[in-house]
Amino acid sequence: MINDEYFLAALRLSSGHDPIPRHVSATAREAFALRVPHALTAAPAECSAVRGVRDDDGSHLVRFVAAGLTFDLEVTEGDGLIDVAGLVSPYPGDDSLVDVRTPHMTLTRRIGPTGHFAVTGLPPGWISVVCHRPGLAPVQTTWVRIRP
């Protein structure tokens, strides 16, 4: 059994011998750029009404919960694109915004007084939703992969 100190020492010794490939460094920088500083992360949650499964109409329902906020997302796939209709509850307050993010684009929407928002025309792949509340830390969902 190797303890952590020996393992870290071995890594330090070996780190000077082989340079990190450029594509690995570039991918790491791209992944680091996707983070939201100081954000709390909402994890997927089970609910009897929202099970994270596909309905007959091609929609996918997912719930995320953290920091007193619940994100209910309905993701619909059609014509090769993704539409997201969401509800943030309880209502996070006036001037609250959501960012619906993919690795390549972010669409920002104002949250309606009922907590609803919608984004259309996203490419299939990874998405995450971030709720920005004035005076409070942002809350982001984990990244989920939506496939056609």
The domain 40-146 belongs to what CATH superfamily? Immunoglobulins (2.60.40.10)
Phi, psi angles (nearest 5°) of residue 67:
50, 40
CA separation for the pair 148, 146 (Å, rounded): 7
CA separation for the pair 63, 72 (Å, rounded): 5
Residue type, 8: L
pLDDT of residue 57: 61
Q: Parse the chain into domains and list their residue ranges.
A: 40-146
Show the beta-strand stretches assigned E in 35-96: 40-45, 59-66, 69-78, 81-89
Average pLDDT by stretches of 10, the chain with 148 residues: 72 71 81 85 77 59 93 92 96 96 95 97 95 95 88
Residues 6+ apart with CB under 8 A from 55: 61
**pTM greater than 0.95 (yes/no):** no
pLDDT of residue 31: 81
